[in-house]
A and B are shown apart, each in its own frame.
Chain A
């Protein structure tokens, strides 16, 4: 038992110590994150380019996530449309449904849902894979065979995820709109051409650019967080689980923050 605990003055002192330690740790972590990102931007330009690995990762991230993400998008399209109908019906404005769906899905739901699902699926996979490679010394093995593991593992994954998440987002958005169309068609008997005419009428070029930029940033975030957590995973099997888990949590958290910030910027531009 810690007898010192009962001495007067000890507890606050210790608490202060703990707080500074914690602050230290946060700054050290931030510096590490900065260095990791800086290294990515330094190394991405120069050969050797690991094209084969990039393509493999694009396949892993893009194609393998397609079924889950499109299913989710489709269902969200239907459900969202169905749930929005009553409020519009109150005003007798169900003819505005396609426009509403369009704005909601293209501006917000498409990119966000894709990113969140990818954070869960792709982020955790990258975190766990690199984490276990770190733990079993495969990353060290690459390094001693004079191969740059950062380039082979990190650069390829971050690039693949930055490329594939926007592509997935586009696909999800389309499938979502299709889900919405099915629901509208069933209830309001709107034709496909009329539906999509209204959909594209409701959005602007800025919306599409904004969504694309957003999904590029989300993709980068997911790849980067997964790689950072995995690459710096602590030793032991426990480290792998932690890396996978915190990849997802951190990526989702950052995605929400980015979503909020980007929304503010876009609104400012729109108002301008």
Chain B
């Protein structure tokens, strides 16, 4: 798998997410121990880390599903921890969150899943316009034919793509992908990687991609950070991150990657 060409449209002067000294513990168990992170406009940032290191917790804090214990989380110029519910909702509309297990609404068809955010947040949108938009994002994820199916009738990879389509439909400025390729076969992985890059190009989004799949990291990341022991210890391009004698970094590489 070829490494990605770094997106020329990244604006290093504009931070869409800026996190400083973020700490989070569950009871006595410290998950995040002082995380600093910047996401620049138009950038795909890959967060690597072993299972249970708190990657999902990190993006849940970014989207206000969980709250940090200490530190500041600034998203699009607003401090997430301080927002009133109404302002938090307004901010959330600009963030697309693709869940680790897709989190499609089981009781609704694909069409209803995609219409769900639209019905509530684009109220003056006409019936036809909504249908067109649904078809447009379905086409973008390459699943136009699934529109009338129930989530239970889809494969894992298809569910993932519908999940991504559902978050794309409100044209977010920021995309958060939680393990977009976990549990998928290599070919579907490549499709998803291409989709992530396509989304970056087409919608000019900035994204955080969480993964422990290094193929994916290399294919989609403009920049890679590695979460070790509750902090980001390595940062840079894919090659830079793994150019290290740190045993934890090396074992991550060797275990994951044979090329």
Q: CB-CB < 8 A to B166: which residues of A?
A: 145
Report the separation of the CA atoms of residues A143 and B66 in the bound assembly, to the nearest whole angstrom: 11
Q: Which of B14-22, B103-111, B248-256 contacts A (4 or more CB under 8 A)?
A: B103-111
Q: CB-CB < 8 A to B105: which residues of A?
A: 133, 138, 141-142
Residues 81-140 (chain B) with a chain A CB within 8 angstroms? 89-90, 92-93, 95, 97, 99-101, 103-107, 116-117, 120-121
Instruction: Contact check, B92 vs A140: say whether CB atoms are below 8 A apart.
Output: no
Given contacts A138-B103, A141-B103, A146-B89, contact A48 B120 (CB under 8 A): yes
Report the separation of the CA atoms of residues A137 and B97 in the bound assembly, to the nearest whole angstrom: 11
Instruction: Contact check, A137 vs B99: say whether CB atoms are below 8 A apart.
Output: yes
Is B228 at the interface (CB under 8 A from chain A)? Answer: no
Is A260 at the interface (CB under 8 A from chain B)? Answer: no
Is A132 at the interface (CB under 8 A from chain B)? Answer: yes
Q: Which residue of A is nearest B86, CB measured?
A: A146
Report the separation of the CA atoms of residues A140 and B99 in the bound assembly, to the nearest whole angstrom: 9
What is the 8 Å Cβ interface bit string for chain A, positions 70-98, against chain B (1 contact, 0 not)?
A: 00000000000000000000000000000
Is A147 at the interface (CB under 8 A from chain B)? Answer: yes
Q: CB-CB < 8 A to A268: which residues of B?
A: none
Q: Which residue of B is nearest A137, CB measured?
A: B103
Q: CB-CB < 8 A to A145: which residues of B?
A: 92-93, 97, 116-117, 120-121, 166-167, 170
| Other-chain residue from A140, A146, A147 in contact with B103 (beta carbon distance below 8 A) | A140
Q: CB-CB < 8 A to A147: which residues of B?
A: 116-117, 120
Report the separation of the CA atoms of residues A132 and B104 in the bound assembly, to the nearest whole angstrom: 12
Is B65 at the interface (CB under 8 A from chain A)? Answer: yes
Instruction: Contact check, A133 vs B106: say whether CB atoms are below 8 A apart.
Output: yes
Q: CB-CB < 8 A to A146: which residues of B?
A: 89-90, 92-93, 117, 120-121
Q: How far is the CB of A35 from chain B (nearest CB, A)?
A: 15
Is B200 at the interface (CB under 8 A from chain A)? Answer: no
Is A187 at the interface (CB under 8 A from chain B)? Answer: no
Q: How far is the CB of B225 from chain A (nearest CB, A)?
A: 22
Q: CB-CB < 8 A to A37: which residues of B?
A: none
Residue positions of B touching A, CB distance < 8 A: 60, 63-65, 89-90, 92-93, 95, 97, 99-101, 103-107, 116-117, 120-121, 166-167, 170
Ordered by A's residue number, 29 sampled pairs between the chains whose C-beta atoms are within 8 Å are A48-B120, A132-B106, A133-B106, A136-B103, A137-B101, A137-B103, A138-B104, A140-B99, A140-B103, A141-B97, A141-B99, A141-B103, A141-B105, A142-B105, A142-B116, A143-B65, A143-B92, A144-B64, A144-B65, A144-B95, A145-B116, A145-B120, A145-B166, A146-B90, A146-B92, A146-B117, A146-B121, A147-B116, A147-B117
